[in-house]
Copies of this chain bind each other. A is one copy, B any other.
């Protein structure tokens, strides 16, 4: 007679550890899922294109919002001003984005992606979308789409007392 094991539905994906109460903590599940999405990003976009997650996000937000300032970018990503300065420095040194003086506010700098930056962002996004779809066969297309929307709703809770 084989050893009986109690049925388990709550386990960590890799470490085979119980997570009975932890299972319902959203922050914990976010961290565990981020392990997967980070690995997908690094393998299919980060390493091929030489981009860190933050660099990719910053670059793409600039591509999709030409003419934005560094301060607005810092708020969007919840990072500090010196931090954004550093990442823009790196992207500018690689010729992916450009700083230009704002026409309306002489304190501010306006950001714009170069043609190379736009091309890189487009290729990276394409690669990530395909890689995520391929990696997450555990989710149906409908579930995948629903997850994205639910996460967006969570993100929109920002400012409502969460941070």
User: Which residues from chain A sit less than 8 Å from chain B, CB to CB?
Assistant: 12-41, 43, 53, 57, 60-61, 64-65, 68, 72-73, 75-78, 125, 128-129, 132, 135-139, 143-144, 146-148, 150-163
Contact = CB atoms under 8 A, between A and B. Distances in A.
**What secondary structure prevails in chain A residues at the interface with B?**
helix
A60 B22 contact: yes
B33 A154 contact: yes
Contacts of A13: 155-159
A129 B25 contact: yes
B162 A78 contact: no
A161 B132 contact: no
A104 to B, nearest CB: 15
A147 B148 contact: no
Contacts of A17: 61, 64-65, 68, 72-73, 76
A124 to B, nearest CB: 9
A122 to B, nearest CB: 8
A28 B57 contact: yes
A151 B33 contact: yes
Contacts of A33: 30, 151-152, 154-155
B139 A150 contact: yes
Given A13-B156, A23-B148, 11 more contacts: A15-B61, A17-B68, A17-B73, A21-B125, A28-B60, A30-B30, A31-B57, A32-B151, A35-B155, A35-B158, A143-B150
